[in-house]
Amino acid sequence: MRTFTIEFSFNGILAWDSFFHLNQTDQRQMFATFRKHAAPRAALMFTSGTSHGEAIGSFRGEPLYHASLDPAEYRALLDASGFAVVQHLIEDPTCGGRTIWLSQLQ
């Protein structure tokens, strides 16, 4: 994900249950990658944590890294990359308690 490059642009970019496994520095840098691969008016959807921090969870008995930025920083990064927030749902019960961001390239 951090080094993905292709000469195509996409109408939708989805980073579901993946983006938050990057450390905070790598997450910040991903917004340039999202922008590079976004077609005009593209949708960008990703899941994040609810606040700035890092945690080690567990998956099938193995440690699993999670990180998140503060919601205000996600908003600022989206804005600086040309994406407008369409919806931000915190711990949405209809999506298994995930925190979801939906944005669109302006």
pTM here is 0.92
In the numeric block, which tokens belong to residue 105? 């390239």
Taking alpha carbons only, the member of 26, 14, 94, 12 closest to residue 66 is 26
Q: What is the DSSP string of 42-98?
A: EEEEEEE-SSSEEEEEEETTEEEEEEE--HHHHHHHHHHTTEEEEEEEEEEGGGTTE
Distance CA 47, CA 65 (A): 14
Give yes or no for a contact between 14 and 45, defined as CB atoms under 8 angstroms apart.
yes
Report the pLDDT value the prediction gives residue 63, as an integer from 0 to 100. Answer: 95
- Could you count the other beta carbons within 10 Å of the beta carbon of residue 55? 11
What domains appear along the chain, each with residue ranges and CATH number?
A: 19-105 (3.40.50.150)
pLDDT digit string (tens) for the chain, length 106 residues: 777 778 889 999 999 999 999 999 999 999 999 999 999 999 999 999 999 999 999 999 999 999 999 999 999 999 999 999 999 999 999 999 999 999 999 9
